[in-house]
Structure 1
Amino acid sequence: MNKFNNAVNYANRILYKPNNLFINNLKEENQNSDYGAGVFQLNSKSIRFRVAKITPNKIGQFVAFWEKDDKNKNQPFSYNQSPDLLVINTFKDNHFGQFIFPKEVLIKKGILKTNEQDGKMAIRVYPSWDTPTNKQAIATQKWQLIYFIDISDTNKLLNQEILKLYL
């Protein structure tokens, strides 16, 4: 099995099924396959799914998300064609968490491409168990944690916490 299927199956078992969230139209994306890339429907929401990577020299985790344009050149995802949510899975030691970013937030943060902004092809995410030290990383973590759920201890996981981000 590959990274995408492993991560989706894990999230489905630990998070989605117990909260009556059902996966449909599961499709792996070849681009960004190193990041467990795929798209699917989760109940009524369209999802772009990624698995972030730990990098050796920086706090936080790195994740890429881009697509090819008509000339086969990498480009950021566009707002108009973006799914409802970008879900970034983070794993470290015994920790598992998800960032569940609505596309409206991604546009405000300059991550999705529009006619007015270039967008980004990758970002760094900072789960709650990471402690960034530089000002920009601290500020980034602050806004990101609004959209983060720590799924490490499923006994403490509240359905309402999950559902408010997915619905």
Structure 2
Amino acid sequence: MKRTTSIARRHKTALGAALACVAVLGTVATATGAQAATASEHTASVARTSSTPYVMNHYGEENADKGKAERSPEHLVLSEFTTARDLDWKQWGAKKAVATGKVIGMWCLETCQDKPLKGTLTLSDPKTVNGKKVFSSFTLKLAGGNGAYDSEDLQGKHPLATS
């Protein structure tokens, strides 16, 4: 009788441990599934295919001369005088890409280096360069309105580096 009780206890202990493992695995699987769903929702909102254009980015010392083909960069050199940073991409499609972020430039050293201007950036006019589809133009709308500055006129559409 004692041996039967001992075996029954072991079975109950093993069963309890197995159920605890299943509960933990279920929790991990649910959390992982939720993370995957969130990631796929974000990916779907900024869907990319082989025909989705890149932007040639000259941001950073390592990219200054040759540039780097990127999609949805956090920082982007728009011209020799203007840079956009902390970009939050709302759209990245086959015809255009749209982001909000902060703008700094040589033309506003006195005011915007410490307090960057807020703006909306739109990349457009994709074309194929060296076998890669890249955006070739940008439009920048500053929160306080566009304007002409000593070094840079930010009104209207401007060419974007494509190589």
User: Is TM (by shorter chain) over 0.5?
Assistant: no
Pick the structure with greater CA Rg. 2
Normalising by structure 1, what TM-score? Answer: 0.26
